[in-house]
Structure 1
Amino acid sequence: MNARPLYFDYAATTPVDERVIQVMLQCLGFDANFGNPASSSHAFGQQARRSVEHARQQVAQMVGAQPEQIVWTSGATESNNLALKGVMQARGLAGGHVITSQIEHKAVLDTARQLEDSGVAVTYLAPDADGLITPQAVSEAMGDDTVLVSLMLVNNELGTINDIPAIGRAVRERGALLHVDAAQGAGKVAIDLAHWPVDLMSFSAHKLYGPKGIGALYVGSRARQHVQAQIHGGGHEGGLRSGTLATHQIAAMGAAFELAGQAWEEEAAKIVSLRQRLLEQLADVPGLRLNGSAASRIPHTLSLTFDEGEFDAAALSASMAFSSTSACNSASNAPSHVLLALGLDARQAGRTIRLSLGRFTTEQDVDRAVQLIKTTTSSAPAFWVGANT
């Protein structure tokens, strides 16, 4: 019997925590909390509604928001669409200007291009050498017609962290709205929407040990009257997102966010230790380069390019789950747009892997991963780029 492959693809998706599964099960079956949250006239609906609102509080508390500012969606992709399309459609598409970056998730980039087709002007900022979008770059790109800026908190391929508070101040000075895709940042970066100058923020449960198919959009007070619904039919979620609420998924997302908040410091310390263990053992691999900022990054996600020697990603994938690009690009098998924007050529992008660590990664997993990686590289003279991270 073949051994189960190692899992180093937490940035693509996380396994649902067993404690979260138990919360989901409490909302499934006739003897469970299965009612329609919109049916408030009887006990079944009222019970379901209480679960939904409790989860809303759990999510809001972890990110420093008010519960009424959390709008349920099917995931960060829908949240991103609601934020970008919702804002631009609410003000009228003609003549508006949106700023985003070349290294955003496809859920933002493809939506921005759809807005371009509708007459919206879009600026795609290039990252600096560290894979970051600077407040200065945002300020310089803004004009009198800029309506919305949409940038990631944490890049899904590099793990780099943008300075969102500083960017938000620059955006607010010009009177525009700021949307942040925080799918990769929630639970890894301390988010404080009570004080950050952010108007809209997207979240996803399945990046944080919750189930797939559920997410949320934070809608701050400045943005509330400037977002047009994309799904109609019942006026749910304050009129911003109609549809019967999935109690089991929502309750699970709330539990996942609460657990992440409780385990914040312990989990971060563990991941830092595992990352250091991984990088120290890979230090003698020929031509290995860590992509992105050495300082402004989460420890969970590592983009590694093998510039020299042999490297057989196909052989490695037989025993280990990782990404050769982000999940949003993998279907097309195209070189990563993030790596190309960072200055890598197609060959280098093809010799790059993303390793992402998570809650269930062990030291034994790391040691075995290092062994597997080294079997795919030659014994050419070693040098190490970025070893001080």
Structure 2
Amino acid sequence: MRKTRCGGILIVFGFGIFIYIMLRFTMFDGDKTINTIMPESEIKVNAGKESVLGYHLKKGDQSMHYTILPPLLHIKSYSIVFYNMPSWMTLELTVLDSTRCPNLSQKCTVQRGKDQFEFSKGVIFYGEELPKLCPQKKNGQVWAFFSIESPFLYSVGPQWKNKFSWTITYRRDSDFPCFYGKIKKRETPLTQNYSQIFERKTKNISWAVSNCKTFSKREEYIKKLQNYIDVDIYGRCGKFQCGSRSAGLTDCHKKFAKEYKYYLALENSLCRDYTTEKLFNFFFHDLPMIPIVYGAPNLHEYIPKGTYINVMDYNSPNELAKDLMRIGSNETIYTQYLKEKDRYTAEGFKLEEVLCPMCVKLHETDSSKVISDINTWIWNGTCIKP
């Protein structure tokens, strides 16, 4: 009895295997067999539509088209966190995808706060407020050093060696440059009544400043310049007052542009690529006056010639003053600077210009690159002392 039952089970099992093999390698159309399977195409991906994989089933002269849905494509998503985001920054971007980042095929989320540190692949540290204790770096994390200020204004301790892979700074050789502004040539130059602008200017130089002792020693230079030409100093470091301090456009800027021929756009440090809103405001807001600049030694590489006067081009304050008097007394020469400047405009920094390429790189890299000493990168041949 047991042998009969076992034999029956074997027969059923064997018949099942036979049916499976027949269905696996043949397909039936009525009472005829179609015996050739030919792939038609690769998976086609269309945004917002289902992807379809097609096949032709061919029998002699006849063919039939079948479609099947492939498995859903897996979209990776990584988290980027600002470990210690500065108080002056606001975070409006929370999701990075192809709608915000044209070159991004994957996805990233952007968050702030130490509580997200454990779960983030990309971690951004604000260099001017680094914590004294360096957190334990997690496997697979990529750390980025972020600063828009001169290295004279902060310090980085030895505990941060061999931690950072990427840099986000004002320097153009950063992994992700973070400029105060970018100059763009206008398709059609701005035009103004330049004669009227020139005629209403009755004063020479204006300067609004609150930091009275700087690494560039700009205050010492201007003190010497005042021996040869009038310089009206507004704010904490001068005797004139004009509203509250702001990095953007103020009524003071409008007043200066109307009454003065020149404005001092002097940086607190003399570092490569370090050019702040002091100069870019002239291009952001089309201010009709000539900026006198003192800052990045390589300024000429990214600010158009003929749109500014550079202190570094003169051997002494006396020499600069003489040239300012010459330019300021000649309408043709003076307004040529304004006309040249009006051929350009500027764009302010957008956070996605850093975060989008950073997200792309997070999906591409194995995070093996590490900067051995971030201080060496920050300081090596980048700044000068007057």
Structure-1-length-normalised TM-score: 0.24
- The structure carrying a bigger strand percent of its residues is 2
TM-score by length of 2: 0.24
Structure with bigger helix share is 1
